[in-house]
Amino acid sequence: MQHDGEAEARGRNFTLHLDKALPCPIDKAVWNPEKDLLAMVTKDQQLIMHRFNWQRLWAVSPEVRVTSLCWRPDGKALAVGHEDGTISLHDVENGNIIRQTVTHHCPVECLAWVEEKEMAQTAADDLFVYEDRTPRFFPPPPKSPAMPGAAPAFDISGAVGSMEDPNSPMDAKTALKASHQQINILCSGDRNGTICLNIFGVFLIGRVDVSELDISTCKHEKDATKDSSYRLHDPFILKVSLSENLHHLSVLCTGKLVSSHFEERKTNQEAAYGVFSLKINTALIGCRSKELHQVALQVSSIEELLEVLQVSMNVMQKVWSDAHTSFREKFKGLSQLLREHGSHANPQEECLSLLSCGLASSGLHQFLAVSLGEGGLKRLSKTMDAALRELHVVIAEHLQPVAEILAFRVGELRGISRWKARLRSIGLDEKLVDQAMENSGMVLIQIERLLRVIADKVAQYRMFFIWLTKTLRQLNNENSPSNDQLPAINSEAVAIFLKTQFEHDILGPHLASVTNDTVWIDMNLGDKETLEELALMGGFVNSEFLHNSLNQQISQLFLSCQHAFSMPSKVVSQQLHFEDILFLRHLHQPNVLNLYVPVSLACYEDKEKLVSGEVCRYVCFQIPEKTSEECMFIVITREYWKKPSAPTENTYREAIALSIGAGLSCIDLSLYKEKQLVLLGQTVSCAQAWLMIMPIDKLPYKNITGVFPFDGPDLLNVCLSEVRYLIAPSWRAISMMFLSDYFFGMGDLQGAVFSISLNDGRARILPYADVVPPLAVSASRGLACVFGAQRRVLLYDLEEDEDVEDTEMD
């Protein structure tokens, strides 16, 4: 047939790179924008990463079902949206989770990660330069200490294990930082219509609830009196995209458009249910991108540092409680022995009497000589000493440097927060940051105090154990010369130790966890006086803070930071306004959960019109159910708008419906590079599958600017309007008021239908007929990946035709 002839002629389009078997059908697939890597989610919920040559890099099995995937623009991290609303970032190298954030409460349906492109810069933009000075003044922050194993001291296995462990977090952090040169924003949309914008994927800057947007039709001046405003009910986000200058957020979602006026809602029983294309004005983010970049940079580092603080505290708590428990356990035996020997004195009193008269009661003697022994004493002493030294090391090498860097970073943040003219609009509040600054200063002082307390403890425990060893040897009548080698003891210090610390854990309260409310650390009078004097000189307002434990202080700092950093998203979210809406298509069945809607959205600056600085957006979607026609439609709309947050008058919009030739059907589509479309389809009889790439910028688009009421008929009907334009009965009531507009505009609204066949682009017949979505296309690498239902995968190079390569090979 004619079809076959064409197919033969075109058979050599594209280069087939690979034809491999798949272990499991694929649910989602996304190409890495920088490298030849393909991330896929299988139907049995495995996240796998394959190289271009189909070598598997890694595979992880997330606990929660994966609902969306996207790459960071630099290709070094993969964002994965889950069914429970979490978004996790995976390292490209090994699949480890770098960060996990919970920003949504229901399945994350789509993700888009957009990097700001350097626009043709005006002189004014160049002036706002912010610098992160921290690396100039501080060494890289230490990582979290490794959690000790069962034995806290002399843990060789821990030391060996730490060779691997700290490596990966460090890599993760460098991977996280690598892309921080330019601001990039991760947009995520969920099933309930909430869209979140995260800078670097970690710092939430804006949250839009589509169902709460005021959708007004006051575009036309004469309708202004009417004040018809609408709400989109039950929104379900299909796709989001941010323009490269960060001024506009494009959203494709399904939902029910309902008038927000109660009476009107009553008269119109039927709501417009279907797919909508929304445009949300995010000009604030675009205008303040440099400030946001700096704030996000500092905030994300501060959050990391806080994490290190918390982990270090946990480690210290564990180390100390282990050591102290073993100390306790050992001396518990003493009180038992004393009771058995009929003595009513407690161990503390016995020890004190031993210190004062040098005579041990029989119970104490037995305990020291038999149950403890010199070896046991030595071991216990070493345990305590090692634990205390480890605490010292953790503080000196982790806690203190981290707290210093943290204070510096908060200070930098306070610096920019004082520039109200620029920073107030993005919600960085000076007072809140001041509060965080105050708390970080307190943490610094608390850490220093704890360091000193620990240094004192080391000396006191050493002294105590030396005294015990000496006494034991005397009791055993060992007058060996080695006894003289022990350092002299200060009996006063030992007495103080016995009185104050032998039975009480002095260090415990300092390390106590936050939940322990009863912690109240005594401050000596001098310290208190000093603090009050300091307050006079402009020190900390709260002169009582030394009563808190370090953990409480850190949690206070954490809370104040959280409070300060949550403000920007609150303020910015209020500034994200509805800008434009387009009714794409009517849906008959309200349940979209099982429906796969092939849809593609691309937003970029038009290179040809760079001078006028226009942004171009292509939306491309397929009408899946074959209405009454035998042919299938794909509708493409494109919009241009002027770059600097233009008023809507500057927007113009065009649309076209592509009717796919008879005998063909489309399975999936994807916009490719700029102004090209990749289609994956089958013949109706399912005998053959085809892949086609076609340019779409020269199609005969029709201008639909201004003539198109958003709650009227859907876009396909508008495109078909010349052929037959009927107002469906249900639309009549709504459309009546726009009718005059219609007839006014109808003159130049010709039908915009263009029928395509495989001749309209470069096409290739695929070896397998049973292709299934998804179609994964990489614009940057020129690759397409097609999956077959028989667990096959085909990899095509879209740029090179096979003929060319063959001749080259010859």
Partner 1 sequence: MIHTHIHIHRYVRMYVFMYVHRICMCVCTYICLCVCVCVSLSLSLSLCLSTDSCRFFLPDKVCTCIIMNTSQTDAIFLRCTEACTALDIAARKFPSVGKSRVRAARLQIVHERALHQGDIKTAHAACDMLSGLFSTVEGVDIESKFDLGHRRARTLVRAGQFAEAASMAHSLFNMCCKYKMQLENIKSLLLLAEIHKKARSFVSGLPYALAALTLSKSLNMDLVHAAAMVTLAELWLGLGPSHAEQALGILQQCMPLVLGHGERELRARIYIAVAQCHLSNPSYSVNANPQAVCEPLQEAAEEFESLEDNEQLCEVFHLQALVFNALGATEERDHAATLFQKFTLLLKNFQTGKP
What does the binding site for partner 1 look like in residue numbers (CB under 8 A)?
123, 127-130, 133, 136-138, 395-396, 400, 404, 407-408, 411-412, 414-416, 418-422, 441, 444-445, 448, 451-452, 455, 526-527, 530-531, 533-534, 536-540
Residue closer to partner 1, measured from CB, 352 or 495:
495
Minimum distance of partner 1 from residue 498's CB (angstroms): 21
Q: What residue has token string 């080698």?
A: 485
DSSP-derived 3-state class of residue 7 = helix
Minimum distance of partner 1 from residue 439's CB (angstroms): 11
Compute the distance between CA of residue 681 and CA of residue 668 in angstroms, rounded to an integer.
7
Q: Other CB atoms closer than 10 Å to residue 701's CB: what's the count? A: 18
DSSP-derived 3-state class of residue 608 = coil
603 closest CA partner among 505, 687, 658, 674:
674
**Strands, E assignment, 661-700:** 664-672, 676-683, 689-695
Minimum distance of partner 1 from residue 444's CB (angstroms): 6
Q: How far is CA 468 from the centre of its chain?
A: 56
CB within 8 A of 604, min separation 6: which ones?
Answer: 243, 244, 615, 616, 617, 674
Residue closer to partner 1, measured from CB, 127 or 163:
127
Q: Is the dihedral of CA 538, 542, 546, 552 positive or negative?
A: negative
Residue closer to partner 1, measured from CB, 412 or 668:
412
Minimum distance of partner 1 from residue 418's CB (angstroms): 4
Half-sphere exposure of residue 256, counting CA atoms within 13 Å on the CB side? 15
Residue closer to partner 1, measured from CB, 5 or 526:
526
81 closest CA partner among 94, 96, 98, 100:
100
Q: What residue has token string 């033969």?
A: 8
Residue closer to partner 1, measured from CB, 441 or 712:
441
Residue closer to partner 1, measured from CB, 63 or 126:
126
Residue closer to partner 1, measured from CB, 135 or 149:
135
Question: In degrees to the nearest 10, what's the CA dihedral of 768, 772, 778, 783?
Answer: 0
Compute the distance between CA of residue 358 and CA of residue 379 in angstroms, rounded to an integer.
24
Minimum distance of partner 1 from residue 666's CB (angstroms): 53
Residue closer to partner 1, measured from CB, 105 or 424:
424
Residue closer to partner 1, measured from CB, 91 or 429:
429
Residue closer to partner 1, measured from CB, 342 or 538:
538
Q: How far is CA 613 from the centre of its chain?
A: 31
Residue closer to partner 1, measured from CB, 315 or 798:
315
Got the DSSP string for 751-802? --EEEE-GGGSEEEEES-S-EEEEEEEETTTTEEEEEETTTEEEEEESSS-H
DSSP label at 516? Answer: -
Minimum distance of partner 1 from residue 184's CB (angstroms): 22
Minimum distance of partner 1 from residue 177's CB (angstroms): 21
Residue closer to partner 1, measured from CB, 452 or 499:
452
Minimum distance of partner 1 from residue 145's CB (angstroms): 15
Compute the distance between CA of residue 551 and CA of residue 317 in angstroms, rounded to an integer.
10
DSSP-derived 3-state class of residue 499 = helix
| Whether 458 contacts 385, CB under 8 Å | yes
Burial of 629 by CB count in 10 Å (0-12 exposed, 13-18 middle, 19+ buried)?
exposed
Minimum distance of partner 1 from residue 492's CB (angstroms): 13
Minimum distance of partner 1 from residue 549's CB (angstroms): 18
Minimum distance of partner 1 from residue 766's CB (angstroms): 57
Minimum distance of partner 1 from residue 441's CB (angstroms): 4
Residue closer to partner 1, measured from CB, 83 or 132:
132
Minimum distance of partner 1 from residue 135's CB (angstroms): 12
Half-sphere exposure of residue 509, counting CA atoms within 13 Å on the CB side? 16
Minimum distance of partner 1 from residue 547's CB (angstroms): 16
| Whether 505 contacts 324, CB under 8 Å | yes
Residue closer to partner 1, measured from CB, 150 or 537:
537
Compute the distance between CA of residue 229 and CA of residue 258 in angstroms, rounded to an integer.
9
Residue closer to partner 1, measured from CB, 217 or 289:
289
Minimum distance of partner 1 from residue 513's CB (angstroms): 25
Residue closer to partner 1, measured from CB, 105 or 420:
420
DSSP-derived 3-state class of residue 588 = coil
| Whether 202 contacts 101, CB under 8 Å | yes
Burial of 454 by CB count in 10 Å (0-12 exposed, 13-18 middle, 19+ buried)?
buried
Minimum distance of partner 1 from residue 405's CB (angstroms): 10
Minimum distance of partner 1 from residue 185's CB (angstroms): 22
Residue closer to partner 1, measured from CB, 13 or 400:
400
Residue 628: phi and psi, rounded to 5, are: -105, -15
Question: Element (H or E) spanning 158, and its range?
Answer: helix 156-164
Minimum distance of partner 1 from residue 125's CB (angstroms): 11
DSSP percent split of the chain into helix, strand, coil, nearest 5: 40, 25, 35
Residue closer to partner 1, measured from CB, 22 or 455:
455
Q: How far is CA 87 from the centre of its chain?
A: 6
| Whether 584 contacts 715, CB under 8 Å | yes
Compute the distance between CA of residue 499 and CA of residue 66 in angstroms, rounded to an integer.
60
Compute the distance between CA of residue 208 and CA of residue 205 in angstroms, rounded to an integer.
10
DSSP label at 222? Answer: G
| Whether 30 contacts 19, CB under 8 Å | no
